[in-house]
Structure 1
Amino acid sequence: MIFEAQYQGQSAVVNTLKDSRAAFATNTLRETCFFSGKVRSPLPLREGLAALYDVVVSDFKYRPRDHLEFQEWLEEQDRNFLAKLGLHDSKVLQRLEELEVRLLELEGLRQQRRKPFNKARKAFFEHIYTDQYELDYLLDPVITIHPDEVSFEAFSRDESSYARLAASYDMFEKVDEFECGTTNIDFSARLHDELDRMRSYRQTQLDISPSGFGVTRSDAGKKKTHKEKKIELPDSWLMGFLQVHSVMTMAMAHLSLTPVDLYNIIRFLRLHHTHTSPRALRWELTPGKSTKVVLEPWETTIELSPTSIYKGDKPQSIRTWGRDRLRTLARMLPVAEKVDVYLAGFGLPTMYVLDLGDMHFTLALSGWTDNDWTGTDKFSLVTRRLEVSASDLSSAYEALRNERRGTYAQIGTVTGLGAEKAKSALSYLCQVGRAMYDLRGGLFRHRDLFFEPFSAAKAVAMAERAAEESNPHAKAGRQIFETGNARLIARRPVKSGWKLSGSAKGTEGKRVRPLVHVDHEGHVIEATCTCQYFQKNKLTQGPCEHILALRLVHMARLEKEDRL
Structure 2
Amino acid sequence: MPDLTYAYAQPSALTATPEGAALQLAAYAEYAPGAGAACFFQGQLRDSWLTARGLTTLAKIVASRFVPQSAALRDPIVTAGAGLLRFEAFSSCNGVYGRLDLGPAALDGEFLSSGTTNVDFNEPMVNALSRIARSEPVHLRVGQQAVTLERAAGHVTERKVALPERWVKGLTAVQGYLAEMEEKMVLTRVQAAQLVQSIPAGTARGDFFLVLRGPRPSFAPVGSAGAVRVGGVHRLRLLDGLLPLCEGVRVFATPDGQASAFVLALGGGQQFVLALSAAVNRGFSGEGNQLDTLLEELPAGWLAGANHLFRGNETFNPTLFGLAHDLAPATVARLCASLSAMGLLGFDLAENHYFYRRLPFKADRILKLNPRLKNARALLDAADDVQLVGLGAGGRTEARVRGTDVWHTVVVGGADAPRCTCPWFTGNQGQRGPCKHILAVQLRFL
- The TM-score bracket by the shorter chain reads 0.7 to 0.9
Secondary structure of the residue aligned to 1:399 is: helix
Q: In structure 1, how many angstroms separate the alpha carbons of the residues matched to 2:437 and 2:415?
A: 9
Mapped to 1, the partners of 2:387 and 2:251 lie a distance apart of 38
Aligned to 2:346: 436
Change (3 A) 1:483 1:318: farther
* 2:273 counterpart of 1:362: yes
Structure 1 equivalent of residue 3 of structure 2: 2
Once the two structures are superposed, the pairs formed by residues 183-262 of structure 1 within 5 Å of their partners are: 183-210=117-144, 228-232=158-162, 234-252=164-182, 254-262=184-192
- Please list the CA deviations of residues 365-406 of structure 1 after superposition, one character each: whole Å capped at 9, or x if unmatched: 11111221234x321135557641111111101111121221
- C-alpha separation between the residues in 1 aligned to 2:352 and 2:387? 33
Match of 2:26?
A: 25
Alignment check: 8 A CA contact 1:146 1:181 kept: yes
Question: Structure 2 CA distance, aligned partners of 1:53 and 1:258?
Answer: 26
Shift of 1:293: 4.0
Matches within 5 A, 1:128-527: 139-172=74-107, 174-210=108-144, 228-232=158-162, 234-252=164-182, 254-269=184-199, 272-273=201-202, 279-283=206-210, 293-296=218-221, 315=225, 319-344=229-254, 348-357=258-267, 358-375=269-286, 377-381=287-291, 383-384=293-294, 387-412=297-322, 419-449=329-359, 453-456=360-363, 458-459=364-365, 461-462=367-368, 465-469=370-374, 503-507=396-400, 514-515=414-415
Give the distance between the partners of 2:180 and 2:392, measured in 1 at CA. Answer: 24
User: 1:283, CA displacement in angstroms?
Assistant: 3.6
Q: Which one of the candidate residues 535, 542, 546 is aligned to 2:433?
A: 542
Q: Which residue of 2 aligns with 1:116?
A: none
Distance 2:435 2:414 in 1: 9
Q: Is structure 2 residue 55 aligned with structure 1 residue 54?
A: no
- d(CA) in 2 for partners of 1:229 and 1:192? 16
Separation of aligned partners in 2, 1:340 and 1:20 = 33
Shift in Å, 1:237: 4.5
Q: TM-score, normalised by structure 1?
A: 0.62
RMSD between aligned alpha carbons? 4.3
Q: In the alignment, which residue of structure 2 is the partner of 1:127? A: none
Q: Is the contact made by 2:412 and 2:442 (CA closer than 8 Å) also made in structure 1?
A: no
Structure of higher CA gyration radius: 1
The 3 A distance-change label for structure 1 pair 482 and 155 is farther
Runs (5+) with no aligned partner, structure 2: 147-155, 401-407
Structure 1's 548 and 316: CA in aligned 2 closer, same or farther, altered over 3 A? farther
1:236 positional shift = 3.8
Q: In structure 2, do the counterparts of structure 1 residues 35 and 21 end up closer, same or farther at CA, with 3 Å as the change threshold?
A: same
Q: Say if 2:14 and 2:23, in contact at 8 Å, map to a contact too.
A: yes
Structure 2 Cα separation of the partners of residues 28 and 283 of structure 1: 39
Measured at CA, do residues 418 and 255 of structure 1 come closer, stay the same or move farther in structure 2, by a change above 3 Å? same
Q: TM-score when scaled to structure 2?
A: 0.77
Gap regions ≥5 residues in structure 1: 64-135, 213-225, 302-313, 490-501, 517-527, 557-564
**Bigger CA drift: 186-195 or 6-15?**
6-15
CA apart distance, 1:317: 5.5
> AA paired with 1:282?
F
**Contact (CA 8 Å) 2:103, 2:270: kept in 1 or not?**
yes
- State the secondary structure of the residue aligned to 2:241: helix
CA distance in 1, matches of 2:18, 2:340: 45
Q: Partners in 1 of 2:28 and 2:274 — Cα distance? A: 25
Per-residue deviation, 1:485: 7.8
**Deviation per residue, 1:4-53 (Å, 9 max, x gap):** 22322432223479733222222276442420122222232111100010
User: What is the DSSP-based 3-state SS (H/G/I as helix, E as strand, rest coil) of the residue aligned with 1:515?
Assistant: coil
Looking at structure 2, the residues matched to 551 and 282 of structure 1 have their Cα atoms a distance apart, in angstroms, of 35
**1:186 positional shift:** 2.2
Q: Sort the Cα spacing of 1:430 and 1:138 in 2 relative to 1 into closer, same or farther, 3 A.
A: closer
CA contact (8 A) 1:399 1:414 kept: no
What amino acid maps onto 1:34 in structure 2? F
Judge conservation of contact 1:9–1:25 (CA < 8 Å) in 2: yes
Q: From the superposition, tell whether residues 370 and 531 of structure 1 become closer, same or farther in structure 2 (CA, over 3 Å).
A: closer
Residue aligned with 1:183, SS: strand
Higher fraction of helix: 1
Are the counterparts in 1 of residues 67 and 280 from structure 2 also a CA contact under 8 Å?
A: yes
Cα shift at 1:432: 1.5
Separation (CA, whole Å) in 2 of partners of 1:41 and 1:201: 8
Secondary structure of the 2:14 match is strand
Once the two structures are superposed, what CA deviation does each residue of 1:449-491 show, in whole Å capped at 9, x if it has no partner?
A: 4xxx4244x355447x54514679x98xxx9x998988996xx
**Equivalent residue for 1:132?**
none
* Secondary structure in structure 2 of the residue aligned to 1:427: helix
CA shift in 2, pair 1:356/1:385, >3 Å: farther
| Structure 2 match to 1:309 | none
